[in-house]
C-alpha cells in the first residue's frame, strides 16, 4: 500500500495548481459575462490537457493517454479551487462517454464536442408514467418510416427538458420482440415539431423536471446509438455513468465541511462551538460513513489503475446506495441544526439552488437527498442489485428475467 | 498511488484461511468454544510456524519486518475464523518492545516472541475503563504493585507488557512470584481474559517514550479488522442459511425483506474496509494521522459490525438465538472487539477532539 502519488504525479498536480491560479479571470476578461468567462477558462484547460483530459482532441478533449490517477488529481484540484472544469451535465457526464464507447464516428464528431462544452444541452428521456424502476416495460414507440424514426409517446420526470437542445432516450422499436430486446436508443432534437414539454412542479417548489409528449416527432435514422433493438444495453452504459456521478465523494466531503461549520456557529439547534455531545457524536458518526465513501473511491481507483476491477465489483455496486444514505444523513443533520429557519418554505425559484451557507441550502438538500435516492435507480433497486448480483441471493419472486 | 493489497498480502491471507479451514473446522472450533479456555496451543503453534509470531517485528531480531497493516490483515482472517489463539496480546506486546524497548530488551525478547518460545500479552485496563496510556495509574518502578483487568490471553502468557503511570510500559515475567491471576469467564470464548494481581512483581521499564500511544492505535486498527472479518463471516453464514431455509414454500433469501436486510448490512460494512486498512497503514507510515484514523476505524467498524451481527442472528430466526447455533461464536467475538479498549462513543469523542471540534 502506498498512498503517495509519486513524483511524476505530484509534478502534474503542481502544474494544475499553477494553471488554476488563472481563475477567477483578471483585467478585461473579468468583465465578460460569467458564461463566457467559464467557456474561455475551460477552453484554455482543454488546450493545456487539464479538462476532458482523456477525450480525443477530435471530439473536443485534450487527447491525453488514459490514466485514472491523472484524472483523479484533476478532480481533486478542480474540486478544491472552484474553477470551471469538466461540466457535470447529463450531456457531458452521461451522453458523451456513452457515445465515445458505442456511437458511430459521425455521432461522436457531431455530438460529443458540443455536449462537453455545454453548447448543446441534453436531457435523458428514459422514464415513463408506467415505466420507472421497471424501465424495460416502456411503451413510447418509434417506427422507421423511410429514413426517419417517427415517435409517439410520453416521457416523464425528464430533468432539464425545458432548456435542452437534445434528448437521448429509449423507445420501443420492435413491438414483437421480447421486453428488453425491442428498445432502441435515439437522439432527438428538442426543437422538432410534435414535441411538447410541460413542467412538473417538484415538492421543493422548483420545476427542474418535466413531462415530454411526442406526437409524430421525427428524427433521422442515423440517430440511433448502437444497433436498433440494443437500446437496453446502451442505456446500461449511460446509467453506470449516472450512478458514478451520484456516488462521487467530492460533494459529500464539501457538505460535511459545511455541516461542521454550521455546528460550530451553532446559532440554530446545534449549541454553540460544537459543545453539544449529541452533535459531536452525530458528526463523528457521519464522518465514519464519509471516510468509508472516500476510501472506497480510493480502492476503486487503485483497482482501476491496476486493471483489476473484479476485486472491487461489490463495493462499486454499493456506491450509489452508500452515497445516498450518507447524503440523507448529512442533510438531515443540517436541517435539524438550522433550527426554526427550517420552517420557511422555499418558493423562490430564482434562488434554486440555494446558496451554500444559507439555511435554505439545508432545506433544499434535505429534500434533494430523497430525489437522488429515487433517480438513477431507486434505493430498493440498488438493494436488489447488491443482493442478487453482488451477494448471489436468488432473484425476486415474480420479477421476470432480463 | 495504490490503496490496495499486494500479492504477498493476499498470499498471507490465503495461507491463513487455508490453515484455519484445515486445522480448526467448525466441530473443532465448537469444542474449543465449549471448553471456554479461549486458547488452543496447537493452533497457535501452527500460526507461529507460518510466521505470525514475529510478523511485524524487525528482521534483525528474527521477525519478518512487515507492518501493522499486515497484522490487521491477519486479524481479519482470525476474526473470520474466530480462531482461539493469543494473537492480539502477543502482537501488541511485540510492538511495544520493538517500539519502546532498549536494544538489549529487543535482543533478548523479540527473537523468542518470533519463534513462539515465549508468548506475551499486554496488561492495560485498570478498571472497566482506564485503557488509555494517559489514564494508567499503576506506579512505575523496579517492582509493581496493583491490579490490571481484562488482560487478553493471559493464562498462557510467559511475558507481560504492563502499562504504567505516565504512559510507560514495563516488562514482567509471569513466572515471577509477585504475579498471580484470577481467570475470568469471558463472554468471547475464543479469547480468554484474566484479572492480574501484581504484588511486588519484578519489573523492567521500557525506555522508549511514545510507544504506548502507538501501540494503542495499532490495537484499535487490529480490533477493527477482527470485527470486520467476524461480521463478514456472519453475513456469509446468513446468505447461505437464507438460501436454504424455506418458509412459505420458498427460500428465505427470495423475500425482499430478507434480501434487503442482508444488502443493507453488507453495504454498511464493506465500504468501511478502507477505514481499518488506512488506520493500520497510518500507524506505520503516517504517524500524524494514526490517532484520528484508528479512533474512527474502531468506532465505525465495530458499530457497523455489531449491526451486521445482530441482523445475522435475527435472520437465523429462533435457531440463531440458541446456544447450539454457531452464530453466537462470532456475535460474541464482535462484542469483544467493540468493547475492549473503548466503545464507539468514546472513540467518536476522541476523533472529535483530535479534529479540533
Ligand atoms: C429528481 C429526479 C430527477 C429525475 N430525472 C430523470 C431524468 O432526467 N430522466 C429520466 O428518464 N428519469 C428521471 N427520473 C425518474 C427516475 O429515474 C424514476 O423516478 C425512478 O427510476 C423510479 O421510478 P418510478 O418513479 O416509476 O418509481 P416506481 O418504479 O414506481 O417505484 C416506486 C418505489 O417502489 C420501489 N420499487 C420499485 N420496484 C421495486 C422492486 N422490484 N423491488 C423493490 N422495490 C421496488 C422503488 O424503490 C421506489 O421506492 C428522475 C427522478 C427524480 C426524482
Closest Cα to atom 45 of ligand 1: A380
Interacting residues of A62 by C-beta distance below 8 A, sequence separation 6+: A45, A46, A47, A48, A49, A50, A51, A52, A53, A54, A55
Query: Shortest CB distance from A387 goes to which of B262, B286, B300?
Result: B262
CB contact under 8 A, B271 and A296: yes
Please indicate whether, in this complex, the C-beta atoms of A288 and B6 are within 8 angstroms of each other. Answer: no
With residue B11 as reference, give the H or E element that holds it: helix B7-23
Which residue in chain B is spatially nearest to A287 when comparing CA positions?
A: B296
Instruction: Evaluate if residue A146 carries a pLDDT over 60.
Output: yes
Query: How many whole angstroms separate alpha carbon A29 and alpha carbon A136?
Result: 49
- Least reliable range by pLDDT among A75-84, A191-200, B319-328: A75-84
Rounded Cα distance between B96 and B68, Å, is 12
Strands B250-251 and A166-172 come out as unpaired
pLDDT at A5 over 80: yes
Angle subtended at Cα A156 by Cα A155 and Cα A157, rounded to the nearest 5 degrees:
140
Which residue, chain included where needed, has cell 434528448?
A: A167
Active site residues of A: 242
Nearest CA in chain B to A282: B348
Buried b (16+ CB within 10 A) or exposed e, A316-346: bbbbbbbbbbbbbbbbbbbbbbbeebbeeeb
Above 0.90 for ipTM, yes or no? yes
What number is the average pLDDT over the span A242-257?
A: 82
Please report the atom of ligand 1 found closest to the CA of residue A396: 41
End-to-end CA, chain A: 40
Which of chain B's residues have a Cβ under 8 Å away from the Cβ of A264?
Answer: 357
User: Residue A74's pLDDT is what?
Assistant: 93
The set of long-range contacts for B174-177, using a CB threshold of 8 Å and a minimum separation of 24, is B176/B201, B176/B202, B177/B201
Give B13→chain A minimum CA distance, Å: 15
Q: Which residue of B3, B267, B351 is in closest CB contact with A1?
A: B3
From A61, A43, A44, select the one nearest A52 (Cα to Cα). Answer: A61
Whole-number Å distance between alpha carbons of A116 and A280:
42
In A152-230, which residue ranges form alpha helices assigned H by DSSP? Answer: none
Predicted pLDDT of residue A402: 47
Chain A, nearest residue to B6 by Cα: A1
Q: How far is the CA of A191 from the centre of ligand 1 (A)?
A: 27
> Which residues of chain A lie closer than 8 angstroms to B344, CB-CB?
285
What is the mean pLDDT of the segment spanning A255-260? 94
Dihedral angle, C-alpha A101, A104, A106, A107, nearest 10 °: -60
Given an 8 Å threshold on Cβ–Cβ distance, is A292 in contact with B277?
Answer: no
User: How far is B6 from chain A, CA to nearest CA, in Å?
Assistant: 7
Which residue's alpha carbon is at the smallest distance from atom 17 of ligand 1?
A375
Cα–Cα distance, A40 to A51 (Å, whole number): 12
Q: Using the beta-carbon criterion (under 8 Å), do B242 and A393 form an inter-chain contact?
A: yes
Average of per-residue pLDDT across A267-293: 91
User: What confidence score (pLDDT) does residue A239 get?
Assistant: 80
Q: In what order do the strands lie in the sheet with B193-202?
A: B143-152, B193-202, B179-184
Q: How far is the CA of A311 from the centre of ligand 1 (A)?
A: 29
Are B302 and B188 in contact, with CB atoms under 8 Å apart? no
Strand order in the sheet with B204-205: B120-123, B159-164, B168-173, B204-205
B300 touching A (Cβ < 8 Å)? yes
Distance between CA atoms of A231 and A136, rounded to whole angstroms?
10
d(CA B42, CA B83): 11
Percentage of chain A lying above the pLDDT 90 cut: 76
- CB contacts under 8 A, B 50-79 vs A, are 69
Q: What sign has the CA pseudo-torsion B80, B82, B84, B89?
A: positive
Does the CA dihedral A15-A16-A20-A22 come out positive or negative? positive
Per-residue pLDDT of chain B (357 residues; tens, 9 = 90+): 899 999 999 999 999 999 999 999 999 999 999 998 878 999 999 999 999 999 999 999 999 999 999 999 999 999 999 999 999 999 999 999 999 999 999 999 999 999 999 999 999 999 888 899 999 999 999 999 999 999 999 888 999 999 999 999 999 999 999 999 998 989 999 999 999 999 999 999 999 999 999 999 999 999 999 999 999 999 999 999 999 999 999 999 999 999 999 999 999 999 999 999 999 999 999 999 999 999 999 999 999 999 999 999 999 999 999 999 999 999 999 999 999 999 999 999 999 999 999
Q: How confident is the model at residue A350 (pLDDT cuts 50, 70, 90)?
A: low
pTM beyond 0.90: yes
Provide the pLDDT for residue A357. 78
- Cβ(A374) to ligand 1 under 6 A? yes
- B242 contact residues in A (CB cutoff 8 A): 393
User: Hey, which of A140-149, A333-342, B31-40 has the most confident mean pLDDT?
Assistant: A140-149
Amino acid at each position: 500500500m502506498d498512498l503517495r502519488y509519486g513524483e511524476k504525479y505530484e509534478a502534474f498536480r503542481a502544474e494544475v495548481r499553477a494553471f488554476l491560479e488563472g481563475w477567477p479571470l483578471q483585467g478585461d476578461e473579468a468583465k465578460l459575462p460569467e458564461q463566457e468567462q467559464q467557456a474561455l477558462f475551460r477552453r484554455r484547460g482543454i488546450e493545456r490537457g487539464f479538462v476532458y483530459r482523456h477525450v480525443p482532441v477530435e471530439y473536443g478533449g485534450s487527447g491525453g493517454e488514459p490514466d485514472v490517477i491523472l484524472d483523479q488529481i484533476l478532480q481533486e484540484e478542480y474540486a478544491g479551487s472552484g474553477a470551471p472544469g469538466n461540466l457535470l451535465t447529463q450531456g457531458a457526464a452521461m451522453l458523451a462517454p456513452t457515445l465515445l464507447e458505442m456511437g458511430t464516428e459521425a455521432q461522436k464528431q457531431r455530438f460529443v464536442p458540443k455536449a462537453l462544452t455545454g453548447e448543446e444541452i441534453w436531457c435523458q428521456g428514459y422514464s415513463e408514467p408506467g415505466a420507472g424502476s421497471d424501465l424495460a416495460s416502456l411503451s413510447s414507440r418509434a417506427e422507421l418510416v423511410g429514413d426517419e424514426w417517427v415517435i409517439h409517446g410520453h416521457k416523464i420526470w425528464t430533468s432539464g427538458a425545458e432548456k435542452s437542445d437534445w434528448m437521448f432516450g429509449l423507445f420501443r422499436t420492435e413491438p414483437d420482440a421480447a421486453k428488453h430486446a425491442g428498445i432502441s436508443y435515439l437522439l432527438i432534437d428538442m426543437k422538432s415539431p410534435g414535441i411538447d414539454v410541460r413542467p412538473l412542479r417538484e415538492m421543493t417548489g422548483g420545476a427542474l423536471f418535466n413531462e415530454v409528449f411526442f406526437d409524430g416527432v421525427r428524427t433521422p435514422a442515423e440517430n440511433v446509438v448502437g444497433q436498433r433493438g440494443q437500446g437496453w444495453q446502451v442505456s446500461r452504459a449511460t446509467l453506470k455513468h449516472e450512478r458514478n456521478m451520484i456516488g462521487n465523494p467530492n460533494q459529500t466531503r464539501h457538505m460535511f465541511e459545511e455541516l461542521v461549520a454550521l455546528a460550530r456557529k451553532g446559532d440554530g439547534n446545534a449549541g454553540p462551538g460544537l459543545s453539544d455531545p449529541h452533535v459531536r457524536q452525530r458528526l463523528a458518526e457521519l464522518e465514519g460513513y464519509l471516510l468509508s465513501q472516500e476510501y472506497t473511491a480510493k480502492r476503486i481507483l487503485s483497482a482501476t489503475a491496476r486493471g483489476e476491477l473484479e476485486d472491487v465489483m461489490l463495493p462499486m455496486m454499493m456506491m450509489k446506495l452508500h452515497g445516498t444514505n450518507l447524503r440523507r444523513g448529512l442533510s438531515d443533520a443540517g436541517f435539524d441544526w438550522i433550527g426554526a429557519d427550517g420552517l420557511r418554505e422555499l418558493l423562490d425559484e430564482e434562488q434554486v439552488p440555494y446558496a451554500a451557507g444559507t439555511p435554505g441550502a439545508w432545506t433544499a438538500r434535505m429534500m434533494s437527498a430523497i430525489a437522488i435516492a429515487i433517480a438513477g435507480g431507486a434505493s430498493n433497486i440498488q438493494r436488489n442489485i447488491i443482493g442478487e448480483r453482488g451477494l448471489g441471493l436468488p432473484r425476486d419472486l415474480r420479477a421476470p428475467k432480463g | 498511488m495504490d490503496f490496495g493489497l499486494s500479492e504477498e498480502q493476499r498470499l498471507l491471507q490465503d495461507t491463513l484461511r487455508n490453515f484455519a479451514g484445515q486445522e480448526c473446522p467448525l466441530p473443532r472450533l465448537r469444542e474449543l468454544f465449549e471448553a471456554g479456555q479461549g486458547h488452543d496451543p496447537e493452533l497457535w503453534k501452527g500460526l507461529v510456524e507460518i510466521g505470525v509470531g514475529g510478523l511485524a517485528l524487525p528482521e534483525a531480531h528474527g521477525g519478518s519486518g512487515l507492518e501493522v497493516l499486515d497484522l490487521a490483515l491477519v486479524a481479519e482472517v482470525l476474526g473470520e475464523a474466530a480462531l482461539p489463539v493469543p494473537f492480539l496480546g502477543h502482537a501488541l506486546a511485540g510492538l511495544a518492545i520493538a517500539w519502546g524497548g532498549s536494544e538489549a530488551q529487543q535482543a533478548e525478547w523479540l527473537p523468542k516472541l518470533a519463534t513462539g518460545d515465549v508468548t506475551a500479552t499486554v496488561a492495560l485496563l485498570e478498571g472497566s475503563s482506564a485503557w488509555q496510556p494517559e489514564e494508567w495509574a499503576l506506579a512505575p518502578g523496579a517492582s509493581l504493585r496493583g491490579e490490571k483487568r481484562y488482560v487478553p490471553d493471559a493464562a498462557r502468557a510467559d511475558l507481560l507488557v504492563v502499562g504504567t503511570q505516565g504512559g510507560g510500559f514495563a516488562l514482567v515475567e509471569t513466572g515471577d512470584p509477585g504475579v498471580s491471576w484470577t481467570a475470568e469467564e469471558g463472554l468471547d470464548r475464543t479469547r480468554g481474559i484474566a484479572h492480574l494481581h501484581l504484588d511486588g512483581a519484578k519489573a523492567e521499564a521500557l525506555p522508549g517514550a511514545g510507544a504506548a500511544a502507538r501501540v494503542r492505535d495499532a490495537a484499535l486498527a487490529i480490533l477493527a479488522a477482527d470485527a470486520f472479518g467476524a461480521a463478514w463471516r456472519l453475513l456469509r453464514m446468513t446468505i447461505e442459511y437464507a438460501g436454504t431455509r424455506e418458509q412459505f414454500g420458498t427460500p428465505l433469501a427470495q423475500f425482499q425483506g430478507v434480501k434487503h436486510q442482508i444488502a443493507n448490512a453488507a453495504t454498511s460494512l464493506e465500504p468501511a474496509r478502507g477505514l481499518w486498512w488506512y488506520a493500520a497503514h497510518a500507524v506505520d507510515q503516517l504517524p500524524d494521522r494514526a490517532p484520528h484514523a484508528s479512533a474512527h476505524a474502531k468506532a465505525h467498524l465495530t458499530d457497523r459490525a455489531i449491526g451486521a451481527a445482530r441482523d445475522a442472528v435475527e435472520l437465523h430466526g429462533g435457531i440463531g438465538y440458541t446456544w447450539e447455533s454457531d452464530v453466537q461464536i462470532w456475535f460474541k467475538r464482535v462484542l469483544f472487539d467493540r468493547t475492549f479498549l473503548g466503545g464507539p462513543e468514546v472513540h467518536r469523542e476522541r476523533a472529535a477532539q483530535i479534529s479540533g471540534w
